[in-house]
Structure 1
Amino acid sequence: MNNPSTPTQALQQRSGASIITGPWPAYSQFKGFPERERWGIYELAKVGRQAMEDRGAKFSEDYDAFVRRVTEELDL
């Protein structure tokens, strides 16, 4: 656990890419939606992340962890 008085180490930025520390965004607020809609939100989450990566964004959360987190948050 980080000590609030200790500054967090910044992630290295490669070739001008934005680094998104995460997890970001959270999807748990959609857990009560019907299953079909939750699957749609899951697909949109994957497409959104891919679009950001295509534009050069780097995520501190690797893709497998992202998929695990989103499926857990959406209860899929």
Structure 2
Amino acid sequence: MQTAQDRKPLAGAEPSYRSFRHLPEPVRWQWYENAKRIRRGREAAGVEMTETYDEFIARVTRELEL
């Protein structure tokens, strides 16, 4: 049986937030905060992301037009 330490981290990109562009700016800022919280949770669980954190932030702010 594999333990958490034996498993290799998964690699993957965060989901796209483009579909939220049409929402009011305060709501888009909430989605920005949610995106960061989701990312932190995945990293804490050992998920290795393909984007650096800076790339992630740049992409999410671009997608949300913030």
TM-score (norm 2): 0.85
- Which residue of structure 1 lines up, in the alignment, with residue 11 of structure 2? 20
Unmatched 5+ residue regions in structure 1? 1-13
Percent identical: 39
- Give RMSD over aligned pairs: 1.6
Q: Which structure: greater helix fraction? A: 2
Unmatched 5+ residue regions in structure 2? none
Following superposition, which runs of at least 4 residues in structure 1 exceed 2 angstroms of deviation? 14-22
Paired residues, what number?
A: 62
TM-score (norm 1): 0.74
State whether residues 19 and 60 of structure 1, in contact with CA within 8 Å, keep that contact through their aligned partners in structure 2: no
SS at match of 2:46: coil
State whether residues 38 and 74 of structure 1, in contact with CA within 8 Å, keep that contact through their aligned partners in structure 2: yes
